[in-house]
Structure 1
Amino acid sequence: MDFNCLNYRFPSQRMVTIGNRGMVATSQYLAANAGLDIIKKGGNAIDAAIATAACLTVVEPISNGIGGDAFALVWHKGKIHGLDSCGFAPEKLSPNSLEDEGIRGIPKYGWIPVTVPGVPAAWNELLKRFGRLPLWEVLQPAIDYAMNGFTVSPTVAYYWGRAYNMYKKDLKGEKFKYWFETFTKNGRPPKAGEIWTFPDHGNTLMELADTEGESFYKGDIASKIDAFSRETGGYIRKKDLERYEPKWVNPISVNYRGYDIWEIPPSGQGIVALMALNILKEFQFVNREDPITYHRQIEAIKLAFADAKKYVTEEEKMKVKVKDLLSDVYAKKRMKLIEDKAIVPVAGKPDKGGTVYLATADNEGNMVSYIQSNYMGFGSGLVVPGTGIALHNRGHNFSIDPNHVNCIEPGKRPYHTIIPSFITKDNMPVGPFGVMGGFMQPQGHVQVAMNMIDFKLNPQEALDAHRWQWQEDKKVLIESGFSNYIAKELETMGHEIHFLIRSGDFGRGQIIIKQNKSLLGGTDKRADSTVAAW
């Protein structure tokens, strides 16, 4: 993937960031710089990824935390590796138990959507297998920010305030008071530029460092989670935490115009991006700013989501095989459904046969695509007393319908929205990329990948380009700056077009591309992002 990135650009255009000894791209500049510092101290890209991820739990708590899940794609010694650190439902949770309590659906907040968190296990597992530095050293920057304070950045402050307004209205009951004690002071959230500390969070990070993460699953932290759950009507128990282990998985891929696009296998939704790209490769695209281009992209995403909704859950429990959903034969069948008018998508029948993202690279050839999340901002609204740990609400994507493929059951992992991605060509690394943001993520992956591969945009241009987001049926959101002409043409094709001013709803991405001996980085204007380069 060759880019002509070194030509002079007018000041109004953002240039791609270039380095060769190390690079970290993420949504918050303090975290990116902390990761690069780790590389400068002798760490590799994996060490830098964990340092950055840990800092993000402190400086961008609106999107992720210690109590969330994580996934990673790692290029190391000529091979791509996948880590699935998504947690499962507690033993006490089942459709029958919820029905007995009169519950008819999975709520957003409270204990029901809380599954076993995977973030601490992911950090330790990645470092043990690929890292060079001890956990205590890579967690030190995050500990320092938590204990001594950090400056709240503008985008973080905005979404923190928005979450506070929602939680103030929606979170009722004694069990939620710890969220307000942790994330507000004097009855308000922080303002941009304000110095903020998280002493309980810092102490928890120190305990994780001292025990290599074991305290979270088998020690004192696990006991605190268990006690809080029992005292406030929760379901998770220490024995659920004790039996948790992250999984090393074989990444899945499709070849798109000579490039292999890699994703984590289900229960994650990376397969949605791959199914859509597999459909789209049956077309030829010349001009990005063409109504037909957008129409086909939107229709392909709709068809892929329809299949995912029907078939995707934990891979071993799926009723169709991943390879069948990603087969070229099936892609051609689905492609034939894309005509000149928008459709309401339905699943096909294949033949049998609140998130943070970061990318890191070093000068040894290691590269990491990493993502972690609490979901829907701060997650469940529950904070374990004395720990600063905000628990996620990933179980919200479960169903209680016993006939649904994603029906909740003890020990089952939910359909998961967070997805890292990676590009290779001819068995050589091109680089990590990702776009965070709930169900926007596979849509962002498709748009960014096509921007680079089909339309020859460099990593920064690929992220800066305006985006669309399909929501349901024929409803499509488009970002401010989108062409009025194209929007009107899409409406004549049957799409229901809605302009949306908030750019944060269109995902926030990062890219690092390896070109010869150089690293080219792009970072999203929709967040407080930066590429830290060396």
Structure 2
Amino acid sequence: MKQSVVGTKAMVVSPHYLATAAGARILEQGGNAFDAAVAVSACLAVVYPHMTSLGGDSFWLSYHQSDGKVRGYNASGRSGYKANISAYAGSAAIPNRGIGSIVTVPGMVDGWDAVHREYGRLDWARVLAPAIGYAENGFPMSKDQFNNTVHNEAVLARTLETADIYLPGGQAEKPGERFKQLALAKTLRRLAEFGRDEFYKGETAKEITSFLQRNDGLLTADDFADHHGDWVTPVEGSYRGYSLYQMPPNSQGFSGIMALHILEQFNLSGIEHGSHDYYQLCVEALKLSFRDRNKYLSDPAFTNVPLERLLDKNYAANLAASIELNRASSEQSEVLGSDTAYAAVVDGEGNSISFIQSLYFEFGSGVVAGDTGVLLQNRGSFFSLDPNHVNSLKPGKRTFHTLMPAIACRDGKPAVLYGTQGGEGQPQTQTAIFTRMIDYGMDPQQAINEPRWVWGRTWGEPTQELKVEGRVSAGVLESLAQAGHLVRKVKDFDGIMGHAHAIMRDEQGFLQGGSDPRCDGAVIGW
């Protein structure tokens, strides 16, 4: 079992040890948290390719000590100008994989540029150097990447450019074998030399969009050239003296705040952790937040999301009053994606950044664009083809997004940075680890190590099951089933629970970090 890492100055955590190490090296070279975060993000796009890529999106919550406030950057892409419901005439839904699933422009490279341009200290090429090295020289194939490659072999084999990289010789390379991505290394070198616009207006953009055009894709050169992310004001809430910050819509972040507002109505610390009542309250609070999320969440440029009402404490109290301790509600969940990579960095100057990036499903669309080495996301496949649906497909629109990095502040400064992989599991796992730290006094690693649950159709599975790790007692599992939950016991440390990570600054000013034992991650602090 992993133990909490303690530092006095700086800390980096990510779901892959090589990315964490790269961030630590950037800090040691004189970079700040923002330089290190971009380095970590770029490295994850190389060493964690089943979960994230330059062809995906990202969301960033930042705290710069000179600003004295939390800011957000929305680096998610919009649908193309040709993306409309008529483009899928005769289809019941947008395909989950393949060219047809590539609907939105990848926003992550723009996010790197925005964060680095606003706050970075080192030059751009130096920050991208670790990622270039891992792509060019290779790294040991992880068990997680190997298992995901084997599981998605049929998807990866459909496109020659994808198969050549991920299934060389017709099969995945074995764990521990050197995995290189030479085409991706060339793309990263071009970005290091020419900057952000290389990806959206340069040769890389031309190669990606030409490939899509040859294969009947919807995205065009104009879609890439016109892309921009946005600095945004985070949504706010509070929980037992902590100020909560999440990304605003199109992120589902407000659902995590709603769940905590509901749980604040109960004296959790007086309820035994891991008991029936603990799981029941958490699950039911989250179900209620999901009900409103599913009703309202989409691109706020196209629809109104009534955040003031949803985040009102009186509304939370009314929702809390509807929870029954011995009866499961009949709320339904959505089918959401699974691949994500969350990371966080705190430096010695007090700067903090909590960020998350994704391809939506494992390996996204399953399509590498030409000779760029860039695996494109399928995030836009979550748009609805129902014109009356809040998340209906329209040109230039951002889709409902699961990504939700979090920061909680105490006395105006970041106290907890936390997040996780796992689609619909993200607000569930965030709620688990945050309540464990705040209500039960656990350190970040213990909060992450403890048994977890995930309710609903996360990871693309068509079920309303409440999956619970096998370390939860048989008596609690039985009582949850008797309350009406469709309980399924899974492995003791099951990857279906996602990969959570956290950094906490304790009351002594020390940094404590935790990385999920369910993944290849690591914490480095000093």
- The one-letter code matched in structure 2 to 1:223 is K
The residue aligned with 1:204 is 187
Alignment of 1:473-484 (within 5 A): 475-484=465-474
Match of 2:297 in 1: 312
Distance 1:325 1:190 in 2: 48
1:125 alignment partner in structure 2: 114
Q: Which residue of 2 aligns with 1:442?
A: 427
Question: Who is 2:222 aligned against?
Answer: 239
Aligned 8 A contact 1:367 1:431 in 2: no
For the 8 Å contact 1:32–1:52, the answer to whether it is kept is yes
1:477-514, CA deviations, whole angstroms, 9 ceiling, x for partnerless residues? 11121221111111111111001227111010111112
1:161 aligns with 2:153: no
1:18 and 2:6 correspond: yes
Give the secondary structure class of the aligned counterpart of 1:186.
helix
2:253 paired with 1:270? yes
Q: Secondary structure at the match of 1:71?
A: strand
Pick from 252, 271, 280 the counterpart of residue 263 of structure 2: 280
**Alignment check: 8 A CA contact 1:81 1:250 kept:** yes
* Residue in 2 that maps onto 1:57: 45
Among residues 53, 56, 75, which one is paired with 1:85 in the alignment? 75
Select which of 495, 509, 527 maps to 2:519.
527
Alpha carbons 1:217, 1:244 under 8 Å: kept: yes
Match of 1:394 in 2: 379
**Equivalent pair of 1:274/1:326 in contact (CA under 8 Å):** yes
| Structure 2 runs not aligned, ≥5 long | 334-338, 458-462
- TM-score, length-normalised on structure 1? 0.93
Partner residue in 2 for 1:7: none
Q: Render the CA deviation track for 1:144-183: whole Å, top value 9, x for unaligned.
A: 1111111112222222222225544xx4xxxx22110121
Q: 1:470 maps to which residue?
A: 455
Match of 1:221 among 190, 204, 215: 204
1:394-473 pair list within 5 angstroms: 394-471=379-456
**Structure 1 residue 272: Cα displacement:** 1.3
The amino acid of 1:522's aligned partner reads G
Cα distance in structure 1, aligned partners of 2:258 and 2:85: 31
Look up the equivalent residue of 1:316 and give its one-letter code.
Answer: A
Deviation at 1:108, TM superposition (A): 0.6
* 1:508 match: 499
Could you tell me whether the CA contact under 8 Å between 1:161 and 1:190 is conserved in 2? no
Q: Tell me which residue corresponds to 1:324.
A: 309
User: 1:247-266 to 2 correspondence within 5 Å?
Assistant: 247-266=230-249
In the TM superposition, residue 346 of structure 1 has moved relative to its aligned partner by: 7.2
TM-score w.r.t. the length of structure 2 is 0.94
Paired residue secondary structure (2:168): coil
- Larger deviation: 178-187 or 32-41? 178-187
Displacement after TM superposition at 1:120 (Å) = 0.6
Match of 1:362 in 2: 347
Counterpart-to-counterpart distance in 2, 1:201 and 1:402: 38
Q: Which residue of 2 aligns with 1:145?
A: 134
Note the 1:88-99 alignment, pairs <5 A: 88-99=78-89
Structure 2 counterpart of 1:495: 485
How far apart in 1 are the matches of 2:231 and 2:415?
22
SS in 2 for 1:267: coil
What CA deviation, in whole Å up to 9, does each residue of 1:199-255 have, x standing for no partner? 100010011111111111111111111211110000100100111111101011211
- Structure 1: gaps spanning 5 or more residues: 1-12, 348-353
Q: Offset at 1:316?
A: 3.4
Which amino acid in 1 is paired with 2:497? F
Deviation at 1:257, TM superposition (A): 1.0
Check conservation: 1:263, 1:422, Cα contact below 8 A: yes
The letter for the 2-side match of 1:386 is D
Partners of 1:35 and 1:320 in 2: CA distance: 36
Partner of 2:460: none
Q: Which moved more, 1:102-111 or 1:262-271?
A: 102-111
Aligned to 1:29: 17
CA contact (8 A) 1:63 1:374 kept: yes
CA distance, structure 2, for counterparts of residue 333 and residue 317 of structure 1: 29
CA distance in 2, matches of 1:236, 1:316: 20
Q: Do structure 1's residue 116 and structure 2's residue 101 form an aligned pair?
A: no
Q: Which residue of 1 aligns with 2:328?
A: 342
Shift of 1:320: 4.0
CA contact (8 A) 2:156 2:166 kept: no
**How big is the alpha-carbon RMSD for the aligned residues of Structure 1 and Structure 2?**
1.5
Larger deviation: 512-521 or 462-471?
A: 512-521
Distance 1:387 1:14 in 2: 38
Contact 2:198 2:205 in 1 (8 A): yes
Match of residue 9 from structure 1:
none
After superposing the two structures, state which structure 1 stretch, 301-310 or 149-158, moved more.
149-158
Q: Give the whole-Å Cα distance in 2 for the aligned partners of 1:20 and 1:316.
A: 43
- Counterpart Cα distance in 1 of 2:224 and 2:193: 18
Question: What one-letter code is carried by the residue in structure 1 that aligns with 2:281?
Answer: R
1:81-118 per-position Cα deviation (integer Å, ceiling 9, x unaligned): 1010000000101112222xx22211111233321000
Check whether the contact 1:251–1:263 (CA below 8 A) recurs between aligned residues: yes
Q: Which letter maps to 2:78?
A: F
Instruction: Report the 3-state secondary structure (helix = DSSP H, G, I; strand = E; otherwise coil) of the residue aligned with 1:30.
Output: helix
The 1-side partners of 2:464 and 2:170 are apart by: 42
Distance 1:113 1:261 in 2: 34
Residue-by-residue CA offset, 1:350-387 (whole Å, 9 max, x unaligned)? xxxx1111111111001110111111111001111111
Question: Which amino acid is the alignment partner of residue 187 of structure 2?
Answer: T
Count of matched residue positions in the alignment of Structure 1 and Structure 2: 508
How many angstroms apart in 2 are the aligned matches of 1:74 and 1:246?
A: 15
Aligned to 1:124, the other structure's residue is in SS state: helix
1:313, 1:211 → 2: CA distance?
A: 34
